[in-house]
Amino acid sequence: MANFAKPDGPRFAVDVYQNEYLPEGGREVNAIVTVTSTGGGTVGATGAGNAATAPAAAVVLMVDASGSMDYPPTKMRNARDATAAAIDALRDGTRFAVVAGTHVAKEVYPGGGRVAVADGTTREQAKHALRGVGAGGGTAIGTWLRLADTLLAGADVSIRHGILLTDGRNEHEDPADLKAALDACAGRFTCDARGVGTDWEVKEVTGIASALLGTADIVADPEDLAADFTRMMENVMGKEVADVSLRVWTPDGTTIRFLKQVAPSVEELTGRRTEAGPRTGDYPTGAWGDESRDYHLCVEVPAAGIGQEMLAARVSLVVLQGDGTVRNLGEQGLVRAVWTEDVEASTSLNPQVAHYTGQAELSRAIQQGLDLRKRGDIDGATARLGRAVQLARESGNADTAKLLAKVVDVVDAATGTVRLKAKVAEADEMTLETRSTKTVRVTK
Amino acid sequence: MSQMPQQTAPSKCPSCAEPLEPGDLFCGACGHDLSAGPQDHATLMMRDALAMEAGPEAARETTPEAGPEPAGEGVGWPSAERGSSSAGPAAHLPTDLAGTDSGGRTLAGGAHAQQAAETSSGVRFDRPGPGEEYPLQAPDPRSAPDHPDTVPTELLCVACRAGRVDGDGYCENCGHAQPRERDHLERESGPVAAVSDRGLRHHRNEDFFSIGHTALPDGTPAALAVVCDGVSSATRPDEASAAAARTAGEVLLAALPRGTHPQQAMHEAIVAAAEAVDALAGEPVSAREHTPHQNSPACTIVGAVVTPGLLVVGWVGDSRAYWVPADRSAPAARLTEDDSWAAQMVAAGLMSDAEAYADERAHAITGWLGADAYELEPHTASFKPDRPGTVLVCTDGLWNYAETAEEMAAVLPSDATGRPLHAARVLVGHALDGGGHDNVTVALLPFPAPPEGAGSA
């Protein structure tokens, strides 16, 4: 349908929400930049649906096959079933491969350092090959990622993605090795990471997803794996353009205090800048389908007199192409600074900025609270988690509020008065930690 | 000081009335060149200036009488009126400007002759009638100021002088917003002049004005000015003031030549301006969808129409009109009554003038043009001044620095009639010198409306 009319992929709209008014001497400009990509609409399509128009994609499924996956045995079985479900969700024509991960990475399907092209036959072959995967050995996730990178690099596609499932800690590899593997893979493919059960390390899984611009989550009950894998695969199939960067121009004399994605989850981007010309930097955002994300940009500008106006930033979306050139995607958003003596104007908080400032603090409060709790600092943990409860209530983040209520007894949400629960299910605590970066958007 | 020096050298600047020291070559306030003219400026200046005005005007009076007639009586009027409302005033700007400038600057010698020459050439240009007017009416005078702003030929940033200016008006190096056309506007139309300035403390100019001159059905001249002040707390106040001022000006320029009574025309103009501002609120601007809580665009309005015998003012809000007689010994007067909190307090006898205007709520207005206005109550008033003088319409950005009629009269240069544009600049300068806390806009009209030589195109 309309897809045929857009050979260049989705269109990006950039909306800026800010209070541009600063008091005399004011130097900090905050803005929420909402980026919305439209024009694709292939989310949820499976099978042959949009094969004709969708861009070519390649997916590598990395399944933990370490010895611990057999305790209980249902875990390995569920992982196989989930991978099979993901394979079923592959659109015809998509390149794919399955990797079993232990202390080394092993190709399960198709083998030979290649990827297969999804169709009825290859899907059945892959599922058949999966049945031969047994549990045994250690865990060295860096080796899995490097193999995935090799396989994906060999595919002539525009969208490269990995899905990684683990149930344990990355014990058979130095943390520096995983870090080096992530650095090597960053920008080459995107990757979703899932922890199954409760024996894995939250920071490892979220770190992988963060470095590779994917999502992280817990699948506490192996029974739920298949549904989650199907959702992830559908999400990948909906991607239409990869290697999209947020390009930010800021004038001479200004400093970017921070740039972070704030919806659908908090992701710090400040340190990921690559210079892209005078006063211009690019921040990676990965692949996009039909979706909308929010970014919080904070710029420090030189103080100016009352009545002055300046542009604090231009924000646009660019796609970095293989030949090193850059394609602009849609219009740009302008972040302005206007100095006024109208106190009412300069002191009012933009609702979006206030909302996401609170959401970012909520995420921080949860992580700090859980860290303090692990270290036995009960007072500190109570204070931080109490603040989190208060913020979750204020910003209407009901999901996070529910997760918090499994870790603390809420006495009064409005004031943030809580008591730590004496007994907390490990899965509940890990779920809270993994999902602490999830945000909700401003209620309109 | 004695009267002697006054006769040999002016004791006050003929341009801005600043007291002078004997031996001054230039005015310390406005920089007026005091050596240029004869010594008896201070007293004779005005009458002579008026005589000067009357001179060429009288000469023109005969020509325009011939002028409108070729354009057609009766049936021909509408087209003539349209011409004068669109390009007419601008078309006459060069000749009028040259005439008044030289008239105001020097009274004798070569300049006089030159001025006379310019005036007569101006008359000749008008005389051939419509055919010759179109070249003059070409949009050059209006579009010319636009072009330098919009054509990005190597524009350097005014702030850092290093960066080029991007298409949207910001420096690509330091990000500073570049001056916009509306930051400072100056216009002349026949005997009317207006100046609008962003001021020193606001980031944009939310005031706007329109001025014009035309002829009544009986051929007598009429001049008009409309000044609007956007309400800053509303959305897009700059668009509101522009829409209101343009609409009101167009309505007056259309209604007066038709014979509508000026007071009725003023009422209609304000109603039409209000409708134009209301219409802005209905426009589906995407920015509005994001900020639905912001209120509708709104502005104040004040307008004046002068004819040979009548002075009409109309207003909504706290923009004002003042009357300053040419003979400064006669009292000046404020012609409008603010729709403001302070004015209501004073009117109700609850506060003194001083108390009310010292209150921080003083400038809260109780009437405005805009979709969220309670009920539109255009105020209009007619006057029949018994002597010549100047009608001054302005926004509070000016009258904050000259609140009473006496104060306003004191800052209005004595040659305002002869050099209205210069006088308007002086008034704006007065507000800027005082701090320029708001946008400043003022328009000046002479009463009686001088016979319109170049007049109705």
Do A15 and B290 make contact, defined as CB atoms within 8 angstroms?
yes
Contact A252 B177 (CB under 8 A): no
**Rounded mean pLDDT of A294-312?**
93
Nearest to A251 among B175, B198, B201 (CB): B175
Predicted-assembly ipTM surpassing the 0.95 threshold: no
DSSP sequence for A72-110: SHHHHHHHHHHHHHHHHTPPTT-EEEEEEESSSEEEEES
DSSP string, B234-275: SS-HHHHHHHHHHHHHHHHHHHHHHT--HHHHHHHHHHHHHH
- What is the average per-residue pLDDT within B406-410? 96
- Asked whether the beta carbons of A427 and A198 are under 8 A apart, the reply is yes
Mean pLDDT of chain B: 72
Predicted pLDDT of residue B13: 56
Is pLDDT above 60 for B150? no
Residue type, A426: E
pLDDT at site B84: 33
Residue type for A19, please? Answer: N
Whether residues B290 and A17 touch (CB distance < 8 A) is answered with yes
Contact A32, A359 (CB under 8 A): no
pTM: predicted TM-score of the whole model, two decimal places: 0.73
Higher pLDDT pick, A51 / B129: A51
User: Is pLDDT at B147 greater than 50 in this prediction?
Assistant: no
pLDDT at A184: 95
pLDDT in tens, B169-222: 899 889 998 888 899 999 999 999 999 999 998 989 999 999 999 999 999 999
Residue with more model confidence, A256 or A55: A256
**Residues B132, B375: Cα–Cα separation, whole Å:** 47
For residue A302, pLDDT beyond 60: yes
Residue B387: band (very low, low, confident or very high) from pLDDT cuts 50, 70, 90? very high
Residue of A nearest to B172 (CA): A251
Per-residue pLDDT tens over the stretch A347-400: 888 999 999 999 999 999 999 999 999 999 999 999 999 999 999 998 889 999
Q: Are B457 and B132 in contact (CB under 8 A)?
A: no
At A60, list the tokens.
């590598």
pLDDT by residue (tens digit) across B191-200? 999 999 999 9
Residue A352 Cα, gap to closest chain B Cα (Å) = 11
**The pLDDT of residue A422:** 87
Judged by a CB distance cut-off of 8 A, whether residue A279 touches chain B is: yes
The per-residue pLDDT for range B359-374, each reduced to its tens digit, is 888 878 899 999 888 7
B31 — pLDDT class (breaks 50, 70, 90): low
Pick among B202, B203, B290, B291 to test the A interface (most A CBs inside 10 A) = B203
Angle between helices A141-153 and A175-185 (to 10 degrees): 20
Torsion (CA) A288, A292, A293, A298 in degrees, nearest 10: 120
Instruction: Render pLDDT for B110-120 as a digit per residue (tens, 0 to 9).
Output: 334 333 333 33
Of A317-321, B6-10, B123-127, B139-143, the one with minimum mean pLDDT is B123-127
In this prediction, what percent of chain B has a pLDDT beyond 90? 44
Q: Examine the pLDDT at B324 and tell me if it is beyond 70.
A: yes
- CB-nearest to B175 from A17, A311, A340 is A311
* pLDDT mean over A152-171: 91
Q: Are A257 and A28 in contact (CB under 8 A)?
A: yes
Taken in order of first residue, the domains within chain A and their CATH numbers are 2-40+242-341 (2.60.40.3670), 57-237 (3.40.50.410), 351-434 (1.20.120.1690)
Per-residue pLDDT, A49: 41
Q: Among candidates B319, B312, B289, which has minimal Cα distance to B194?
A: B319
Task: State pLDDT tens for residues A15-39.
Answer: 999 999 999 999 999 999 999 998 7
Amino acid present at A315: V
Checking A201-205 for CB contacts under 8 A at 24+ apart, the result is A201/A169, A201/A170, A202/A430, A202/A433, A202/A434, A204/A141, A204/A166, A204/A169, A204/A170, A204/A178, A205/A166, A205/A434
CATH superfamily of B140-285+294-447: PPM-type phosphatase domain (3.60.40.10)
What φ, ψ does residue A35 adopt, rounded to 5°?
A: -110, 125
Distance (Å, rounded) from C-alpha B318 to C-alpha B337?
A: 8
- Domain extents in chain B: 3-137, 140-285+294-447
Q: Please report the DSSP string for B125-175 in residue order.
A: HHTT-HHHHHHHHSSHHHHHHHHHHHS-SSPBPTTTSSSBBPTTSBBTTT-
Contact assignment for A253 to B174 by CB distance below 8 Å: yes
Q: How many CB pairs under 8 A join A and B?
A: 56
pLDDT in tens, A172-214: 889 999 999 999 999 999 999 999 888 889 999 999 999 999 9
Which residues make Cβ contacts (< 8 Å) with residue B241, sequence separation at least 6?
B206, B207, B208, B228, B229, B230, B299
Note whether B175 contacts A312, CB cutoff 8 Å.
yes
- Residues 120-139 (A) with a CB less than 8 A from some CB of B: none
CB atoms under 10 Å from CB of B66, counted, come to 12
